[in-house]
Structure 1
Amino acid sequence: MKPSMIRRACVAAVALAATTAPAVAAQSSADSGARGGTAAPSDIGAKARLLGEKIVPHKLSFRGTTVGGLSGIDRDPCTGEYVAISDDRSVLQPVRFYTARIAVDGAGVHSVDFTGTHPLLQPDGTVYPPASAGDGKAVDPEEVRVDPRSCDYWWAQEGDRPKSSEEPVIQPSIQFAARSGAYRGQLPLPPNYEITRDDWGIRRNKAVEAITFGAGGSVLTSALEGPLLQDGPEPTLQHGALVRVTQQSRDGGVLGQFAYPLEKIFTAPDGSSTYPPDTGVPTILAYPGDPSRYLVLERTWVAGAGFKIRLFDATTRDATDVQHIDSLKGQQIVPMRKKLVADLATLGLSRVDNTEGMTWGPTLPSGERTLVLVSDDNFAEDAVTQIVALGIR
């Protein structure tokens, strides 16, 4: 949901003005080899073009629920429809997902029609309590993926590191559910994904937002939204940061963990908000047929400048496995290599908003693969639920 509850003045105007910016460079500052990396070779380097977009009506009422907060999306290979998860923490209605038909082709996004919704259930069959309950059982849903083997739903929630020792810790989790929303199980997470009460572990609101299946469903990859506390500070105007990306087997065994180089903050805030700049990885998507290659979305918000959404082509190939390195500070490691695919501000969108989810769509006659993205409106009046389709080659 980040940046959660940020009031964004003039975001639409900034985003529209940004569409006139010059074309982005072929590779980002992270490609230059900072922290031991090397320039991205020909094994990565996808290109993207805008196919179209569609705005979902704000706070659309559907089967007794309020559509919004869509922070993750995936295409269902069993039906051809899409599933999207809402990050409503049972405040408006219980934690839930939606199914939808999205008509996408080379000419754009023609329609978005919701077809169903179900709550995601706890192991005892009940709905999750609201975040305000304070009993430690609330969740913060952020990502959903359809299991390519069973077509069940796997979903990630980032838990909560409390601000006070009097509040309960809610650990992040990756769960799997039946298509009805019934609880089916949980993936064991690596130990360094745990929230602790000291200066170690996952930051508040910077936990597991991104998961993806690769290698035909045999590998589940997760990415943290921001750096672990022990791995160094969050990005600033001067430097980026390293966030951990973990490949696991379906039973939870860690196959490898790698450091992804997050970009530095792109501009200084103008002082119009008390909220500091916010940046991170809200979603990651494996390439079919290449378990080491991913599309990675970086989402940044800065007061007065609005959102910058950038899409990168990245690989774990030749990167250092860091699963047994407690802290990345001062370590000589090789991070994941990445190359800029697109800055959404340069594609001609009506606006650039809080994009948090993405999935592969159908393949076009041209051979391009469609990429479908969704923005999380946080149920705010000045934000939108935007479905965007790109052609990737």
Structure 2
Amino acid sequence: MRLRTLLATVTATLAAAGSLAAAGPATATDTSSTSSTSTPSTSTTSSASTHVCSSTVDIRSFSDGLDKTTYEGTFVGNLSALAVDRDGELAALSDRSSLFTLDRKTVRPTSVVKLADESGADLDSEGLVVDRDGTRLVTSETEPSVRRYSRDGKILDRLPVPDSLRVAPAGRAATNLTFEGLTLLPGGHTLLASMEYSISGDSAGIARFQTWKRHGGHFELAAQYGYRIDAGLGVPEVQATPDGRLLVLERGWTSGVGNTVRLYLADPRHATDTSGIDSLTGQSDVRLIKKTLLADLVNCPSLGATAKQPQPNPLLDNIEGMTITGSTKDRLNVLLVSDDNQNNAQITRLYSLRVRLPHPTAS
């Protein structure tokens, strides 16, 4: 229970910062720290009485305090994943090979570690898990790969990857469209990585989710599942819920319109193991992961947010990272982060959500 209390602090912090804006739709709050080399922007919320996005999801607050800041000379942006460390602090992964630690009270950087591959080259780092011993499991979508790192950024291990999921010509995946999400299932014995899009030979819109089983100090290849993505979207992140289901983010972008971001609850427990199936074409004898829409975030109240480019809701941006920061019974505290791509037209934004999980249905 002590750990859960620490984890819930993250979302409570964002909500507390937002309460300062109760007199109006948006108020700037100085959350700068002496370790940051640039001034943070606003941390805002709304005085509106409702925060409802759907019947199961509320948005509690958001913060732009990290947008276009630096820490010890490193740009704090391009954030693609979040995880809760064993001490309750947040780990935030940049796809430019930087891994930040964020203070759980201020959500400000307190350290940064540079990651690299075996030759010392940068990673296109996308998915992050903090393992039970404190090591970091990190995906790169260029090969793709999953590597284990020590807290100080030393490579400890590299997990096997099925040939079919490798980038062509070695495999059937497209460059930069591979492992985006990474999560450890309850109990810590099964690791799951989500492909962002389909591989060649599979029907468009069916992505593969790969798992590994822990054996001693290593992970070995295990079952694989198919997941159907909404048309025009991809899967940037996945997180295991305490009961073994999955929160799945689906995201897309349309020029002149903006981002689409949807949150699904998915259940892989009765899906077909597709590791031995060469092509997934929607065949009737293959059970894909069942999913249920929790919320389309376009329907969330904007909370006074502003956008730097056209968006169907100014709250939205390129949301790419997600972690569960606490849970009570069937409710989860969820933290999202957007990847600004180091682009002045995009924002690094943190979002605090409250998610109610529907009860599992019979298969």
* TM score, norm. by length of structure 1: 0.70
Q: State the alpha-carbon separation in 1 of the partners of residues 146 and 78 from structure 2.
A: 19
Match of 1:256 among 223, 229, 236: 223
- For 1:101, the equivalent position in structure 2 comes to 103
| Structure 2 partner of 1:60 | 69
Q: Counterpart of 1:317?
A: 269
The residue type paired with residue 226 of structure 2 is: A
Alpha-carbon offset, residue 254 of structure 1: 3.1
- Aligned match of 1:173: 145
Give the deviation of 1:100 after TM superposition: 0.2
- Structure 2 residue 288 is matched with structure 1 residue 288: no
What secondary structure is seen at the aligned counterpart in 1 of 2:346? coil
Residue 205 of structure 1: how far off its partner (Å): 1.9
Q: Which amino acid aligns with 2:338?
A: S
- Note the 1:122-201 alignment, pairs <5 A: 122-123=117-118, 127-128=120-121, 138-147=122-131, 149-159=132-142, 171-197=143-169, 201=172
1:377 alignment partner, SS class = coil
Unpaired runs of at least 5, structure 2: 1-51, 306-314, 357-363
Unaligned runs of 5+ in 1: 1-22, 27-46, 89-94, 104-110, 129-137, 160-170, 234-240, 266-278
User: Any idea what SS the aligned residue of 2:288 has?
Assistant: coil
Of 268, 275, 278, which aligns to 1:326? 278
Of the three residues 301, 320, 323, the one matched with 1:348 is 301
Describe the SS at the equivalent of 1:230: coil
Q: Is the 8 A contact 2:115 2:123 kept in 1?
A: no
Query: How far apart, CA to CA, are the structure 2 residues paired with 1:335 and 1:102?
Result: 37
Match of 1:79 in 2: 87
Other structure's SS at 1:229 match: coil
Which residue number corresponds to residue 186 of structure 2?
A: 215
- Taking structure 1 as reference, are residues 319 and 363 closer, same or farther at Cα in structure 2, changes over 3 Å only? closer
Structure 2 contact 141–177 (Cα < 8 Å) conserved = yes
Paired with 1:101 and 1:119, the residues of 2 have a C-alpha distance of 18
CA distance in 2, matches of 1:363, 1:232: 36
CA distance in 2, matches of 1:330, 1:142: 28
Task: Provide the rounded CA distance (Å) in 2 between the counterparts of 1:210 and 1:380.
Answer: 22
Cα deviation, 1:98-141, whole Å, max 9, x if unaligned, reads 000244xxxxxxx42111101014446xx42xxxxxxxxx5311
Q: Which residue of 2 aligns with 1:16?
A: none
Mapped contact 2:54–2:294 kept (Cα < 8 A): no
Q: With CA pairs under 8 Å and 6+ residues apart, which has the higher RCO, 1 or 2?
A: 1
Question: Aligned partners of 1:25 and 1:85: how far apart in 2?
Answer: 29
Identity across aligned pairs (percent)?
31
DSSP 3-state at the match of 1:175:
strand
Q: Does 1:339 align with 2:288?
A: no
Amino acid at match of 2:334: L
> Is the contact made by 2:103 and 2:110 (CA closer than 8 Å) also made in structure 1?
yes
Inter-partner Cα distance in structure 2 for 1:390 and 1:243: 26
CA RMSD after TM alignment? 2.0
Check conservation: 1:172, 1:208, Cα contact below 8 A.
yes
Matched length: 290
Shift of 1:65: 0.8
Give 2:78's match in structure 1, choosing from 61, 69, 77. 69
- In 2, the alpha carbon distance for the partners of 1:305 and 1:326 equals 37
Say if 2:77 and 2:340, in contact at 8 Å, map to a contact too: yes
The secondary structure found in structure 1 opposite 2:207 is strand
Q: Distance in 1 between matches of 2:111 and 2:118?
A: 22
Displacement after TM superposition at 1:367 (Å)? 6.8
Partner of 1:231: 202
1:221-244 alpha-carbon deviations (Å, 9 max, x no partner)? 0110000011033xxxxxxx1100
Change (3 A) 1:146 1:299: same
The one-letter amino acid of 1:254's match is L
Deviation at 1:64, TM superposition (A): 1.5
How much has 1:25 moved relative to structure 2? 8.2
Show the counterpart of 2:113. Answer: 118
Check the 8 A contact 1:54/1:112 in 2, yes or no: no
Give the 3 Å change call, closer, same or farther, for CA 122–227 of structure 1 in structure 2: closer
3-state secondary structure, aligned to 1:61: strand
Q: Tell me by how many angstroms 1:314 deviates.
A: 0.3
1:243 to 170, 183, 207: 207
Name the SS for the 2:335 alignment partner: strand
Q: Do the aligned residues in 2 keep the contact of 1:189 with 1:252 (CA within 8 Å)?
A: no
Given that residues 168 and 175 in structure 2 are in contact (C-alpha distance below 8 angstroms), is that contact kept between their aligned partners in structure 1?
A: no
Contact preservation (8 Å) 2:67, 2:349? no
Offset of residue 204 of structure 1:
2.2
Q: CA deviation at 1:345?
A: 1.4
Structure 2 CA distance for aligned equivalents of residues 392 and 24 of structure 1: 10
